[in-house]
Structures are given as C-alpha cells and as structure tokens.
C-alpha cells in the first residue's frame, strides 16, 4: 500500500468474517485487524513475528510458561513459531502487525499506562511498548498543532487510538484521520501528522527495522 492511503479498523472489523482482515501493509510490515471471540483459542505464529495491541476487551495470553493479562492498550510480542493460548473474557479487538522474525527486547507485554513517557523531539512524546530485535512498538503522543515535514529511516504501520487530525504527505495529499485510522509510513517519505483537535492525539505504531521513534533523516522548514 502506498503512502497517502488510509483505512479504518471499523472497515476492517466489518470485513473480518473469519476474525481477521488486512488494514495497511508495505515493505516487510503487514497490519491486520483481529477479533477474538469470548473463550479460549490456540494459536501458533508462522515464519513472521507478531506484535499485537489491544483496542478493546479483556483476557489473557499464555506463552512459554508465562501468563500475561490483556487489557485495553496492552502491547504484546509473539516471536515467530511460538505457540500461545488466548483466553478472552469478552470479545477482544486487536491490531496485529506481522514483521521479520526476531527475539523479544524487553518485556513481552507492556501497557500504555505502565510505560514511561519519553521525549520524541518536535514537541512530541512517546511510550515504548512490546519491542523486539527487529521491531519497535510505541504510542506517539501528538499535541494540538502540526509538526514540520520530516522523514524516517524506517517503515511503520500505525493506528490512531484517539484524536482527530490530517495526514500531510510530500505529494501534497492531505487526508483526514481519526480513531481507528490505519496508516503506512514508508521510510524516507516526507510527511506530517497534524492534530486538529483540542486535546492530545495518540497513535500506536510498529517500526521495522528496529529504531527509536526519535530518529529522523531530515526535517524540512515547512
């Protein structure tokens, strides 16, 4: 999927007749909306790793002899080839990103509320969630306003958690975004996410190759 295209998880969930539906993809990243009904389900990842984010619902996941709680805004990492048991107390709605195989780099499960806030530059902040040797999962916190056009040395798939705004791309495309909007950011493509609301906009992203969200190649003076 090229930069400048946006789909919402609402559209994806509506199409998820078997529980999964694609949202955005590019390079070595692919994002899906994932619905897990109430109950227990066994799952084994394939040749790619999976990074998950809980949008709604509660439950738990058991993997490698450990149990982790699933509550809204939990990030979770499942390595390639790992077997997991998901137990949903109520319907779970998640966003899942497939990426090249890697090993966990830090805690396997992290909630947004428990993650420390870090400075992202250009007046923004972020919190790291479930990261690996090949990917970085984070939630970016964007205050009202617009940052200068910039680009990154990595690819990213992302989903807006809350807030409204406009995606500005280097080809002069301008697209509105809101809760559930899914976006693919190709490496080196100039862009700017403008928060048009009165409160912070939050966006969950998964980066490949592994980098800090603070890393930019260029920032333009507009």
pLDDT single digits (tens) 10-37: 888 887 777 888 899 999 999 999 999 9
Interstrand relation of 136-142 and 201-208 (parallel, antiparallel or unpaired):
antiparallel
For the chain, what is the mean pLDDT?
A: 94
Same domain, 97 and 117: no
Going by pLDDT thresholds of 50, 70 and 90, the confidence category of residue 6 is low
Cα Rg, the chain, nearest whole Å? 16
**216: in domain:** no
Same domain, 117 and 199: yes
Task: Give the pLDDT score at 3.
Answer: 53
Residues 142/124, Cβ–Cβ less than 8 Å: yes
**56: in domain:** yes
**123: in domain:** yes
* 135 has pLDDT over 80: yes
Location of structure tokens 């998901």: 86
What share of the chain in percent tops pLDDT 90? 87
Instruction: Report the pLDDT averaged over residues 56-62.
Output: 98
Domain that holds residue 81: 16-101
Same domain, 80 and 136: no
Give the total number of structural domains in the chain. 2
CA angle (214 as vertex; 210, 218 as ends), nearest 5: 105
Residues 208/155, Cβ–Cβ less than 8 Å: yes
| Prior bond of 215 cis (ω within 30°) | no
**44: in domain:** yes
Q: Could you give the strand order of the β-sheet that contains 74-78, starting from the edge strand earlier in sequence? A: 20-26, 29-36, 92-99, 49-56, 74-78, 109-111
**57: in domain:** yes
**150: in domain:** yes
CA distance 119 to 24: 27
What share of the chain in percent tops pLDDT 70? 97
Same domain, 56 and 134: no
CA distance 9 to 65: 32
User: For position 147, which CATH number holds?
Assistant: 2.60.120.10
**38: in domain:** yes
């Amino acid at each position: 999927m090229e930069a400048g295209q946006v789909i919402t998880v609402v559209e994806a969930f509506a199409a998820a007749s078997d529980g999964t539906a694609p949202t955005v993809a590019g390079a070595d990243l692919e994002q899906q909306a994932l619905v897990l009904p109430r109950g227990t389900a066994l799952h084994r990842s394939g040749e790619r790793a999976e990074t998950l984010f809980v949008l709604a619902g509660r439950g738990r996941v058991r993997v490698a002899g450990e149990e982790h709680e699933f509550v809204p805004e939990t990030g979770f990492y499942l390595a390639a080839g790992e077997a997991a048991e998901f137990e949903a107390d109520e319907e779970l709605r998640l966003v899942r990103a497939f990426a090249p195989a890697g090993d966990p780099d830090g805690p396997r499960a992290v909630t947004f509320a428990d993650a420390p806030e870090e400075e992202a530059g250009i007046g923004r902040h972020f919190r790291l969630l479930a990261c690996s040797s090949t990917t970085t999962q984070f939630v970016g916190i964007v205050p009202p306003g617009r940052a200068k056009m910039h680009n990154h040395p990595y690819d990213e798939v992302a989903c807006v958690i809350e807030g409204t705004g406009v995606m500005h791309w280097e080809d002069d495309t301008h697209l509105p975004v809101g809760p559930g909007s899914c976006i693919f950011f190709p490496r080196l493509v100039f862009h700017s996410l403008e928060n048009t609301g009165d409160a912070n906009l939050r966006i969950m992203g998964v980066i490949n190759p592994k980098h800090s969200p603070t890393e930019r190649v260029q920032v333009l003076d507009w």
